[in-house]
Amino acid sequence: MDSLRIYNTLARDKQTFVPIRPGEVRMYVCGMTVYDYCHVGHARVLVVFDIVQRWLRALGYQVTYVRNITDVDDKIIRRAVENGETIGALTDRFIRYMHEDAQALGVARPDIEPRATAFLPQMLGMIDTLERAGYAYQADDGDVNFSVRRFAGYGKLSGKSLDDLRAGERVAANQAKQDPLDFVLWKHAKADEPEETGWPSRWGRGRPGWHIECSAMACALLGEHFDIHGGGQDLQFPHHENEIAQSAAASGKPPVNYWMHNGFVQIDDEKMSKSLGNFFSIREVLARFDAEVVRFFIVRAHYRSPLNYSDAHIDDARQSLTRLYTALRDIEIDEAPLDWRDPHAVRFRAAMNDDFNTPVAVAVLFELAAEVNRTASPVQARQLRELGAVLGLLSREPRMFLQEAAGADAAPGLDPAEIDARIARRAAAKQARDFALADRIRAELLDAGIVLEDKAGGLTDWRRG
């Protein structure tokens, strides 16, 4: 079998994956800052790295998957103050919403989901190590900063040189810093901030900077050197660049072997983000589209490519997923395990081992569906269902999906009982040879997004159009 190859952002190339410990994978993914609902860009991160961990487990690796939660941060503080509530109340609420959204999308919980506020001692310890090694200093404003120019390898992940980086672009200017490129490790507490957002330290009361949070949590939970670190493309610089600098300066070794970054979700060729105000929350999208359809929309694009969001693209994904489920309908499938020797499974495996190439893997599913449609083979139907399950798809009873997954323009309020009643009226009309009435009922249902499928023996099935 082909070996797994991963595109390593640090190397700018696909590399054969060799775990640090044989048979074991330690993976850290930057999670959410919980002050608002997750948007579709977050959904992509959730689904992409859910697929990664699923495939690693399918290959037989023992996986430790860590995805953190940032539960203290400037945006969180501002939102809590605006709402007149505690930080804990705000973050607990949006963590709950995040879990609900992820579950709807079929995303498994990570093995460990640390909250930043639970790792303050580890963060303070790392900052202390950096200061003693000459990489950190306390500025006149009380903040403790990382001295970027002291770290020789800064810029390797993002491909940016220090001379090209200018203060005011992605690094905030601060007169108290020794260099505008330096970034904060420990923020000195301000008098007007809530008491719960400050912790004691030898540099005074304050809170951690965002970058040190991930370095400290990853090191504490996975060790100073682990296999995979992932996140969205927007985190490559400065967040992940700063993580490398902190972690390597503190330990004296490179922290991660493979860096993975998923592409942006775009609207009108512009990145979707809260800061740009052009985002859709996962909840807004799931109110209009079936959750498995949204997952399929994400899965059928390669994780590193841009993903253009629109109702039309989601509806196209729904129609495509409908084709796969239609192939599985009316076939009795046994519970035998997936046969990886089957030619379709071999091609699927080769695709997934090629940097998690889900578009090609999905194409294999359609090849299988076409074969099932031709032959009605229960064996090939089982292969289709089980390969789909590797991607977190095709786990529902086919009729349930076909009758629940409506398009964006489907008429609301037409429930299954009403549909069945109209089908019964149509059958009675046909029995009475009132074909005009039967055709009118069929057309009315079609206008409501319901497609009727007449079968042998006088039976009629239906699905959402």
Binding-site positions? 30, 214, 239, 243, 274
Angle at alpha carbon of residue 399, lines to 393 and 404, rounded to 5°: 75
**SS3 for 26?**
strand
Can you list the pairs that 386-389 forms with residues at least 24 positions away whose Cβ atoms lie under 8 Å? 386/337, 386/338, 387/338, 387/344, 387/345, 387/348, 387/361, 388/324
Closest by alpha carbon to 234, among 209, 255, 214, 263? 263
- The backbone torsions φ and ψ at residue 329, rounded to the nearest 5 degrees and listed phi first, read -70, 145
Annotated binding site for ATP: 274
Please give the single-letter amino acid code of residue 287. Answer: A
User: What's the rounded Cα separation, in Å, for the pair 124 and 213?
Assistant: 10
Question: With contact defined as beta carbons under 8 Å apart, do 217 and 122 qualify?
Answer: yes
**SS3 for 258?**
strand
Closest by alpha carbon to 50, among 114, 108, 99? 108
Please give the single-letter amino acid code of residue 149. Answer: R
Residue 115, beta-bridge partner list: 69
User: What's the rounded Cα separation, in Å, for the pair 343 and 353?
Assistant: 15
How far is C-alpha 364 from the geometric centre of its chain's CA atoms? 23
Place of tokens 């081992």: 353
Q: Which H/E stretch holds residue 266?
A: strand 265-267
User: What's the rounded Cα separation, in Å, for the pair 215 and 226?
Assistant: 12
Annotated binding site for Zn(2+): 30, 214, 239, 243
